[in-house]
Amino acid sequence: MIATPHITHAEAQPAAVIRLAIARSEIQSVMGPAIDDVLAAVQAQGLSPAGPVFAHHYAITAETFDFDVGVPVSGPFTPAGRVKAGEQPGGRVARTVFHGNYSGLHGAWGEFKGWLEAEGHATAPDLWEVYASGPESDPDPASWRTELNKPLLG
């Protein structure tokens, strides 16, 4: 389900983001419009995305997601409406890549967390996903790639 996880260092990047605290059931109706708003705000300032869209989750419960959805930017971003200047996180992380439909992400994270525990890695409470390729690049979910990142402690 996931590629072999590895430990790496991710560089933090300036980003344009929208912070969302939503019911899990709202993700499919909220995420797309938020991405559209971020990309429109970036373009309106004459900037370009400097990487794929990401979601940085601060807290995940059985009922809710609390996260930033954003895109790294090619230059300084000035807040515009609900889109704020932020950051795609960086630091020492465990990373893997999930291939497939977004509906499989929950299982991919479960597999990844199992690997982290088996390897004895202490992790921070947050995580982030980078949507390296998805429906915007190919309608076939088998070609979609989502990078899973879990910050490590110590």
Nearest CA-CA partner of 127 in 71, 54, 64, 70: 54
d(CA 38, CA 69) in angstroms, rounded, equals: 8
Report the number of secondary-structure helices (H) and strands (E) in the chain: 2, 8
pLDDT tens-digit map of 87-138: 999 999 999 999 999 999 999 999 999 999 999 999 999 999 999 999 888 9
Hey, what long-range contacts does 103-107 have (CB within 8 A, 24 or more apart)? Answer: 104/1, 105/129, 105/146, 107/1
Q: Is the Cβ–Cβ distance between 70 and 84 less than 8 Å?
A: no
pLDDT tens-digit map of 20-44: 999 999 999 999 999 999 999 999 9
**For position 67, what pLDDT does the model report?**
98
Is 0.85 surpassed by the pTM of this model? yes
Q: Supply the DSSP symbol for 151.
A: E
**For position 154, what pLDDT does the model report?**
80
d(CA 117, CA 129) in angstroms, rounded, equals: 19
